[in-house]
């Protein structure tokens, strides 16, 4: 049983408006992300502190359980709110999030009995908002990190079994290297829309 959590908690400060709701090829960006990944999971939910803006999705909406604790608090909310043992977490502003890469992560977390399967996009740069988590083991570790006043999104990783996907493994499922592209500026948004219109 799998859950998919779309995180829509960012400030979108560089975009100047809520990027998740900006039209991307004629539909809100968050709808594109949801539709790309929906087949992965038995349950889909959204974490957001502006639930009224997202009711049109018809999905369960969850505000931060640890307000003011940034991305780590957002991840805690995501895993706390999900019902299923394995949870895929994705940012709302990744228009090329890869379903096949998530499928690979789900397979590995079971096969290797890992707690986290997370892509390395190069140079040790991990992608925690395109990763799969084992709820039972990750939640206590995240809670401990929050209570220790840690802020880094992966600060708790030493407490669990982490399986990173090398850039070479990732490239099999994301040959163009677009999966982790998150859109922060109007210019990036326009570039991504152009790439998507070309069938990416």
Give residue-wise pLDDT tens across range 53-75.
Answer: 999 999 999 999 998 898 999 99
Above 60 in pLDDT, residue 118? yes
How far is the C-alpha of 177 from the C-alpha of 11, rounded, in Å? Answer: 25
What is the rounded average pLDDT of the residues 85-102?
A: 97
Q: Which residues make beta-bridge pairs with 136?
A: none
Domain ranges of the chain: 2-197
How far is the C-alpha of 105 from the C-alpha of 65, rounded, in Å? Answer: 26
Tokens in use for 172? 């099999």
**Dihedral over Cα of 153, 158, 159, 161: its sign:** positive
Picking from 130, 111, 110, the residue whose alpha carbon sits closest to that of residue 120 is 130
Q: What is the pLDDT of residue 11?
A: 58
| Residue 161 and residue 185 in contact, taking contact as beta carbons nearer than 8 Å | no
Above 60 in pLDDT, residue 13? no
Residues 6+ apart with CB under 8 A from 11: none
Q: What is the pTM of this model?
A: 0.95
Residues 6+ apart with CB under 8 A from 107: none
Q: What is the pLDDT of residue 82?
A: 98
CATH for the 2-197 domain, from 3.40.50.1100, 3.90.550.10, 3.40.50.1980, 3.90.950.10: 3.90.550.10
CA 179 from chain center: how many Å? Answer: 11
Mean of per-residue pLDDT scores for the chain: 93
Residues 6+ apart with CB under 8 A from 23: 29
Picking from 1, 8, 10, 16, the residue whose alpha carbon sits closest to that of residue 186 is 16
Q: What is the pLDDT of residue 123?
A: 85
Q: What is the pLDDT of residue 14?
A: 58
Q: What is the pLDDT of residue 184?
A: 87
What is the rounded average pLDDT of the residues 71-84?
A: 96
How far is the C-alpha of 82 from the C-alpha of 120, rounded, in Å? Answer: 24
108: enclosing H helix or E strand: helix 99-111
pLDDT band at 12 (very low <50, low <70, confident <90, very high): low
Tokens in use for 20? 């998740």
């Amino acid at each position: 049983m799998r859950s998919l959590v779309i995180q829509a908690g960012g400030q979108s400060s560089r975009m100047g408006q809520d990027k998740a709701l900006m039209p991307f090829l004629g539909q809100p960006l968050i709808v594109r992300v949801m539709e790309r990944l929906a087949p992965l999971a038995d349950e889909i939910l959204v974490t957001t502190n502006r639930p009224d803006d997202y009711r049109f999705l018809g999905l369960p909406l969850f505000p931060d359980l640890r307000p003011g604790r940034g991305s780590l608090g957002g991840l805690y909310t995501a895993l706390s709110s999900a019902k299923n043992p394995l949870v895929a977490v994705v940012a709302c502003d990744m228009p090329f999030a890869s379903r096949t890469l998530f499928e690979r992560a789900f397979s590995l977390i079971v096969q290797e009995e890992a707690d986290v399967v997370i892509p390395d996009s190069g140079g040790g740069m991990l992608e925690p908002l395109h990763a799969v988590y084992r709820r039972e083991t990750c939640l206590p570790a995240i809670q401990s990190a929050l209570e220790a006043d840690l802020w880094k999104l992966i600060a708790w990783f030493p407490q669990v079994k982490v399986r990173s996907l090398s850039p070479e493994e990732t490239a099999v499922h994301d040959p163009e290297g677009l999966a982790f592209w998150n859109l922060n500026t109007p210019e990036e948004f326009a570039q991504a829309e152009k790439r998507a219109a070309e069938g990416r």
